């Protein structure tokens, strides 16, 4: 075991899998000798050579198009998009080509790849370096979406993702890239995709989140306990596949639910979770499902703290739902 942050855990996973599978290829803007803007790919070029970890031009649609060609020819590409906000020039390649490869080929081939990208706010990056675009890809069949919340999850989920045939969008919460630290096994392990974590058991209310927001939820749950509210905290880990069984089991126990996401509220994934709860556990609900989210505006810079759903906002959502 070793105490790591998320960047170190991602780097460790990439080293392990590139050693195990010589078909894994890492590429993107500045990921080579420089190690990426956040240093997540540090040392890969030195260890495995430039043919397996190299820089690309600043052309996201080319990065993903190239990755699809590699995947269709037996390689396992792991391209990095430097910030999730930069992924939109490659949106057509991802949703119209990569996501549909298995379907349109009659299961003859799939564009199996892991697209790594840091997402979310918390670094005062303004509206072009702070977005959380997960919902825009969850609307597309054929793409799996994975979001770790700590170093242990980052390594285990990334290793599992790199061994999956389907294309995966692996969103890394850059706000806690270095702030989140925990013990991580040095050996090989996987965290199965589609398996949520009950991070804190409770009986009064279910609080659901993922990625960096999970930490705000845990903090809010601890403070709610002092108010006499026993909150169960679910950390989804993967949004597609979604562990709906764990969600519904928790709702049946608590009867009340808050879903908290960093992304804007309207048409976000929190809305889909709310709808699924209404479909599958309506008779167990004692209050409407409440969403605590980012605002429906471009991501603020000077007012970043006010924009993000921090623990005080989550606590208010918990109290309002509990008192309904």
**How far apart are alpha carbons 218 and 233 in whole angstroms?**
7
- Given 8, 17, 29, 60, the catalytic residue: 60
The question of whether 60 is a catalytic residue gets the answer: yes
CA distances from 170 to 10, 116, 298, 306 (A): 11, 5, 23, 27
Q: Which residues contact 265 (CB under 8 A, 6 or more apart)?
A: 271, 291, 293, 294, 295, 296
- Given 129, 153, 172, 232, the catalytic residue: 129
The question of whether 304 is a catalytic residue gets the answer: no
Q: Which residues contact 226 (CB under 8 A, 6 or more apart)?
A: none
**How far apart are alpha carbons 319 and 174 in whole angstroms?**
29
- Read off the tokens for 304: 């970043």
Instruction: Return the ∠ at Cα 237 (arms to 191 and 167), rounded to 5°.
Output: 75
Q: What is the set of active-site residues?
A: 60, 129
């Amino acid at each position: 075991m070793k105490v790591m942050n998320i960047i170190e855990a991602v780097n460790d996973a990439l080293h392990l899998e590139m050693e195990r599978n010589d078909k894994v290829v890492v590429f993107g803007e500045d990921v080579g000798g420089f190690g990426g803007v956040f240093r997540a790919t540090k040392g890969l070029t030195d260890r495995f050579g430039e043919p397996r970890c190299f820089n690309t031009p600043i052309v996201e649609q080319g990065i993903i198009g190239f990755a699809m060609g590699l995947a269709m020819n037996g390689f396992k590409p792991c391209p990095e998009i430097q910030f999730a906000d930069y992924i939109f020039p490659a949106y057509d390649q991802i949703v119209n080509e990569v996501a549909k490869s298995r379907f349109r080929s009659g299961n003859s081939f799939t564009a199996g790849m892991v697209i790594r990208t840091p997402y979310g706010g918390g670094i005062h990056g303004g509206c072009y370096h702070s977005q959380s675009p997960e919902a825009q890809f969850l609307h597309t069949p054929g793409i799996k979406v994975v979001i770790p919340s700590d170093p242990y999850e980052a390594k285990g989920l990334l290793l599992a993702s790199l061994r999956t045939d389907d294309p995966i969008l692996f969103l890394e919460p850059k706000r806690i890239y270095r702030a989140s630290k925990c013990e991580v096994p040095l050996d090989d392990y996987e965290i199965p995709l589609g398996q949520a974590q009950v991070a804190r058991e409770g009986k009064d209310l279910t609080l659901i989140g993922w990625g960096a927001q999970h930490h705000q939820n845990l903090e809010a749950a601890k403070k709610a306990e002092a108010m006499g509210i026993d909150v169960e905290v679910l950390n989804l880990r993967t949004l597609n596949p979604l562990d709906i069984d764990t969600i519904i089991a928790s709702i049946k126990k608590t009867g009340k639910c808050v879903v908290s996401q960093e992304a804007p509220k309207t048409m976000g994934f929190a809305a889909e979770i709310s709808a699924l709860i209404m479909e599958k556990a309506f008779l167990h609900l004692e209050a409407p499902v409440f969403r605590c989210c980012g605002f429906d505006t471009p991501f603020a810079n000077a007012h970043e703290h006010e924009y993000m759903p921090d623990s005080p906002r989550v606590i208010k959502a918990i109290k309002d739902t509990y008192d309904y």
